[in-house]
Amino acid sequence: MRAVIQRVSEARVIVEKKIQSQIGPGLLILLGIEDTDGAEDIEWLSGKIVRLRIFNDDEGVMNRSVGEVNGDILVVSQFTLHASTKKGNRPSYIRAAKPETAIPLYKIFLKQIEKETGKPVSAGIFGAMMEVSLVNDGPVTILIDTKDKE
């Protein structure tokens, strides 16, 4: 699993000209799922994300997690995070999981984030053409890959 985590002051997803989801201050998570991903990846990644200390404390130091600031979370599936550009100029998405694998893992990921934060999680629509807009706060953007576990 690969995630791009962005600290935002607001974010929204529009599908077919209608707002699907929107949040205030918190995290926008773009999530890419591979065929080899499973429950262990979900557990590790969700835990890492909700415990990331990337929100400012009273001294202006990034020392608080999304839960500590009562932040919102919006998760958007994005198979293009697994693009390979090694050959030619047209990306290959062969590493991205097919919908029959990815959709159940995406849903489990959403439930795991909700369980760990104790708050509802907003989401895009898997496989839909979405317009994602955000105001990146900081800017703070972090890439995490469960295969690297950095």
Tell me: the pLDDT tens digits for 32-65?
Answer: 999 999 999 999 999 999 999 999 999 999 999 9
Q: What is the arithmetic mean of pLDDT over 100-105? A: 96
Q: Please give the average per-residue pLDDT across 112-120, as a whole number.
A: 97
Question: What CATH number is associated with residue 104?
Answer: 3.50.80.10
pLDDT on residue 137: 97
72 vs 87 pLDDT, higher one: 72
110 lies in some domain:
yes
Q: Note whether residue 78 is domain-resident.
A: yes
- Percent of the chain residues topping a pLDDT of 70: 99
Distance CA(119)–CA(129), nearest Å, equals 26
Residues of the chain above pLDDT 90, percent: 91
The question of whether 80 is a catalytic residue gets the answer: yes
Q: Which domain holds residue 35?
A: 2-145
Catalytic: which of 80, 85, 141, 146?
A: 80
DSSP per position, the chain? -EEEEEEEEEEEEEETTEEEEEESSEEEEEEE-BTT--HHHHHHHHHHHHH---EE-TTS-EEE-TTTTT-EEEEEE-GGGG-B-SSSSS-B-TTBPPHHHHHHHHHHHHHHHHHHHTS--EE--TTS--EEEEEEEEEEEEEEETTT--
